[in-house]
Amino acid sequence: MRRPVSRLPHRARFIWLLGVVAMSAGACTGDDGPVLDTATVTQGEVVQTVAAAAELEPASRVTVSAPVAGEVAQLLVGDGDVVESGDPLVRLTSDSIDLQVAQAEAAVEAADALAAAAAGAGMDFSPVVGAFRSQLDAVFPPLLEALRGQLDLIDAAAEELAAAADLPAETDQGAVEDALADARERIDEAEQGYLDARGSLSSAQAQARDQAASASASQQAAAAAQREQAELALEAAQARGDELVVVAPAAGVVELARGGDPGQSNVPDLDALPGGADLDALLGGSATEGQASGPLAEGVAVGTGQPLLTVFDLSGFTARVAVDEIDVVEVAVDQPVVVLVDAFPDLELAGRVAHVALAPERQPAGGSIYPVTVALLRVPDDVHLRVGLTASAEIEVRRVDGDTVVPTSALLRRGGDEVVHVVRDGIAREVAVEVIAIGDETAAVEGDVSAGERVVTTGVELIEDGHTVEADSS
């Protein structure tokens, strides 16, 4: 037979038990005082547990949300489908992302056109300067040479004329030579000016060429940077487009979101995997019956971050145990646990504490509850658990091989101490004890009490030290 499980903390259960004993003892009280029962102090093992309500959880659950706002174009899975990590689940469409991709592609094309124009964008004036210098080279040297030739002819003609006329040296011959010399000096100055102008034109031509090359390189660099930015924007837009195909983040069983709250309706049994029973039957009716809105469907508009479905890992289960703040100080990782599932009255599941929450959950009525995760070690193959089944858990917090073990009904808190009444020579003697471990029926204690002695187990709150024990039962 399945033993009952108290949901009270141990101290509260202890005090409650004493109240029951008090009523029982009062009912048996006659004119000569209460009839007291006693029990023998023994030795043995005492197991102290913390009992608390629990709820079954899958090994894991992952809610899959819409990465972008859009519309469900194709639903690739349904309720109860088994998926592997990376399997496609939903394909979305998004006008905003399509627009972003188109704009990014246009920006890349514009950057390409700018790069082509930048190749010849630098205005090069060096050919014009070179042509001007060529014209100077073609005109000035022959002109200067012709002028010098004419001066030579004039000089020769003047000498012949002077010789033929037999003119004296101090005649106009000297004036002619001065004029010719002045003319030659001017021609030399003109030639130097030409050479200076030619050098300036050569420098200007080289500078114009360099400036054109620099301007073209700058514009090409700017065009290349703009194209790189456009390509990055296109890659980002295309990556967001890739997000439109939502994939499974983990392996498991799928349940579509219903009314924007995925995972809250019934989950398929393990025997409802491919080849199993019909989903509607598992859910106790139509999959959409009684829902404010049905499951996710094609053509439905979704917003960014909106839940689409949940992937449940049903390969194992845990129990989420709500432990009272008074009891949680006794709970630690790896302690053994017995989980009793309400839906399976004859089933006891073994487990171990996997995690104890650091922070509590506050209760509306006051007090704090600490969530404790219990990993179930083995579930029989013929037992098909569901997410959310209610249960209770008994966490073993202490196991003691006691030298002195008394019934829990013999314990009484008096004056801040735990006491028992030991029957010695027909007289109840109050003895202070330290409780080492307290189980459902027995407690291991330390104090001035020995195995084999007898302690009062009923009416303990009604007697005092030195009370005569009128009745005794073994």
Kindly report, residue by residue over 382-411, the tens digit of the pLDDT: 999 999 999 999 999 999 999 999 999 999
Report which secondary-structure segment, H or E, holds 88.
strand 88-93
Kindly report the average pLDDT of the chain as a whole number: 78
Q: Which of 61-65, 115-119, 257-261 has the lowest mean pLDDT?
A: 115-119
Confidence of residue 14 (pLDDT cuts 50, 70, 90): very low
Left (φ > 0), alpha (ψ -120 to 50) or beta: where does 275 sit?
Answer: left
Cβ-contact 418, 408 below 8 angstroms:
no
Q: Kindly state the greatest CA–CA separation across the chain.
A: 191
Alpha carbon distance 81, 424 (integer Å): 72
Confidence of residue 120 (pLDDT cuts 50, 70, 90): low
Alpha carbon distance 434, 75 (integer Å): 65
The domains found in the chain, sorted by start residue, are: 10-56+326-346+371-468 (2.40.420.20), 67-92+245-305 (2.40.50), 126-241 (no CATH)
Cβ-contact 41, 451 below 8 angstroms:
yes
Residue that wins the pLDDT comparison between 18 and 195: 195
- For the ranges 34-38, 94-98, 236-240, 313-317, the one whose mean pLDDT is highest: 313-317
- For the ranges 225-229, 285-289, 371-375, the one whose mean pLDDT is highest: 371-375
Alpha carbon distance 219, 111 (integer Å): 12
Over range 165-175, report the average pLDDT: 61
Percentages helix, strand, coil for the chain (3-state, rounded to 5) are: 35, 30, 30
- For the ranges 98-112, 196-210, 452-466, the one whose mean pLDDT is highest: 452-466
Alpha carbon distance 139, 201 (integer Å): 15
Contacts of 283 (CB under 8 A, 6+ apart): 265, 266
Cβ-contact 344, 382 below 8 angstroms:
no
SS3 (DSSP) at 39 = strand
For the stretch 326-348, pLDDT in tens is 999 999 999 999 999 999 999 99
Helices and strands (H and E) in the chain: how many: 6, 20
Provide the 8-state DSSP code for 408. G
On whether the pTM is more than 0.75, the answer is: no
- For the ranges 48-52, 221-225, 260-264, 274-278, the one whose mean pLDDT is highest: 48-52
